[in-house]
Chain A
Amino acid sequence: MGRTLIEKILLSHTEKKRLENFVYAKVDFCFGNDITAPLAVKIFKEAKFNSVFNPKKIAFVCDHFLPAKDIKSASNARMLKEFAKRFKVNFYDINKGGIEHVFLVEQGFIKPGNLIIGADSHTCTLGALGCAAFGVGSTDLAACMYEGRIWLKVPGTIKFIYKGKRNRWVKAKDLVLYTIGKIGVDGALYKVMEFHDKMVNKLSVEERFTICNMAVEAGAKTGIFEPDKKTLKYLEKFKKIKVNIEKLKSEKNAQYKDIVEIDVSKLTPQVALPFSPGNVKPVESLRNIKVNQVFIGSCTNGRLSDLREAAYILKGKRIKKGIRAILIPATPLVYREALERGIIKIFLDAGFVICPPNCGPCLGGHFGVLDKDEVALATTNRNFIGRMGHPESKVYLSSPLVAAASAIKGRIAHPREVL
């Protein structure tokens, strides 16, 4: 019986010759943010651990409540900074940082074939590079910082094959929303979603991030793409790397729990309605939904290509009077590149406000929290009750193209309506 890519990576991180139900695997890199890491630090201290397995392989990235939104957030960031100084682990806040799942890639910490542990559920994003990246909680992170190991149940894998030719308005976000709508929010529970791109017009590496990012929204343990030349080219933009990707593929006779083929030819842009990322409909059916706020950003859609696409729609236009539109580039580097390419100016001219790199209003913490009865369209990943603020507010999820078009119209709109 052949092995899937995830099985190969797990096996290469243990001393065992074959995989059984559980592994206590060696970790190549682990990280937490300003919500999960303070709890991990507290647990680490209470356990009286007094060393870390390798300070170079640990990072804290403050991105949720940053710049500090109140005294508690400030003191959490300080707690992390002091711990980082004592144990010499990597620490990033406002001067050099950004959204963890984007920033850590730019810093060259994440390589194909790695086993990555992040105390954030969207750690699965990094599977786009062909690594085994698992989201965990704070106790796991504390234990991992100490031992450099993590307990994992060996997961089954579902293979997803996208084929056909995409309509020009259909992006990665539409594919992943459609997929979650099809299999449900627990459709891949405990399993790995292994994605294969057999489409005529292929996904960019940044689109692969968007797809893997939302694997957790289908209950998956993680998402993964087999790494290829495109992956290496993308990574080399940031740092020279040496990785042999030849063996980082699922074997031909690998065992899958299921194989799901999705023909994208007839897909149109998709929107997830409140209050579930699995409550998905085509954008055409939602044209009467008015919005108070549009947000473009997050670990799902805050990268340069996302900004570029939105700017393509926004160029020379203004957002609807009376609505709020927020852009948050995922990292300072994304911000700088967007600035140098004139993208930021297009957003400003259109009437967007631009916030510093962070998670923004995605989780209702900061920079654009919703009031009672307000409606937002966001390029984020979750639209649960109260996710972006008041329990009686609503969030719709879409691609940056749909978000930009909707900002212009003041209601949910198909991109072709504004061109």
Chain B
Amino acid sequence: MIIKGRVYKFGDNINTDDIIAAKYLDSQDPDYLGKHCMENINSEFPKIVKKGDIIVAGKNFGCGSSREHAPLAIKGCRISVVIAKSFARIFYRNAINIGLPILVLEEADRIKSGDFLKVDLSQGKIFNLSKNEEYSCSPFSSFMEEIIKAGGLINWIKKGRKNEEI
């Protein structure tokens, strides 16, 4: 799958309270959550973000609470993929489980806000069209690949899991 979009750049240790504040956690509606995504650290973000845009961040993205409302809020504002140097573990598994595309990229620092990217999700390749650069992401394990291909954990269970690795 090929994704094209404009970059919003965030720093290191973006936590789940940044992504969606606790006062909104009484909702499970992605559209509602999306309207408040990142507002504690950038109140303009939910207003200006457009369908297909891409979040690029530093290390430990999504640290803090287990709230799945965080990846849901990102999905709700129609972000197409999150690219980071590393992810906090619960955010990482929540994103895999709900089918929000994420990629781990060591060279995330090379990408700046406003850059236009073409992302080949299945190959884990990123083309920075603004800078004419190409980056390779860390590949997923075959087990995670299987969950991603099934469209998330629930579908993977319903389709009858078959991975040899586990």
Please give the residue numbers on chain A whose beta carbons come within 8 Å of chain B beta carbons, in ascending order.
20-24, 35-36, 38-39, 42-43, 46-47, 64-65, 70, 72-73, 76, 118-121, 123, 135-140, 142-143, 146-147, 151, 185-186, 189-190, 216, 219, 221, 276, 363-365, 382, 384-387, 391
Contact = CB atoms under 8 A, between A and B. Distances in A.
A20 B165 contact: yes
A36 B18 CA distance: 18
Contacts of A185: 13, 60, 63
B13 A186 contact: yes
B110 interface: no
B154 A143 contact: yes
B124 interface: no
In order of increasing CB-CB distance, the 8 nearest A-B pairs are A137-B94, A137-B68, A72-B26, A186-B60, A139-B97, A386-B40, A363-B22, A121-B66
Contacts of A72: 26-27
B67 A137 contact: yes
B90 interface: yes
Given A20-B165, A21-B141, A385 B18 contact: yes
6 contacts: A35-B26, A42-B28, A136-B94, A151-B153, A185-B13, A364-B22
B152 interface: yes
A26 B120 CA distance: 35
A119 to B, nearest CB: 6
Contact of B143 (A22, A46, A120): A22
Nearest to B98: A139
Contacts of B60: 185-186, 189, 219
B41 A385 contact: yes
A39 B67 CA distance: 9
B64 A382 contact: yes
Given A46-B154, A47-B157, 4 more contacts: A140-B97, A185-B13, A276-B13, A365-B25
Contact of B166 (A24, A135, A216): A24
Interface string B9-32: 000010101100111011110000
A186 B68 contact: no
Contact of A39 (B13, B69, B158): B69
B157 A186 contact: no
B89 A190 contact: yes
Contacts of A216: 90
Interface string B44-67: 000000000000000110011111
B90 A384 contact: no
Given A39-B69, A121-B90, A186-B63, A21 B25 contact: no
Contacts of A118: 66
B21 to A, nearest CB: 6
Given A42-B28, A151-B166, A139 B40 contact: no
A22 B144 CA distance: 10
B82 to A, nearest CB: 15
Contacts of B154: 43, 46-47, 139, 142-143
A46 B69 CA distance: 17
A275 to B, nearest CB: 9
A38 B26 CA distance: 9
Nearest to B28: A39
Nearest to A38: B28
A189 B94 contact: no
B86 interface: yes
Interface string B82-121: 0000101110011001100000000000000000000000
B161 interface: yes
A109 B48 CA distance: 47
B59 A186 contact: yes
A121 B166 contact: no
A123 to B, nearest CB: 8
B89 A24 contact: no
A249 to B, nearest CB: 25
A385 to B, nearest CB: 5
Nearest to A42: B28
B18 A137 contact: no
A328 to B, nearest CB: 16
B67 A36 contact: yes
Given A189-B88, A385-B17, A364 B67 contact: no
Contacts of A65: 26
Contacts of A70: 26
Contacts of B28: 38-39, 42
B66 A36 contact: yes
Contacts of B67: 35-36, 137
Contact of B65 (A20, A22, A121, A276): A121
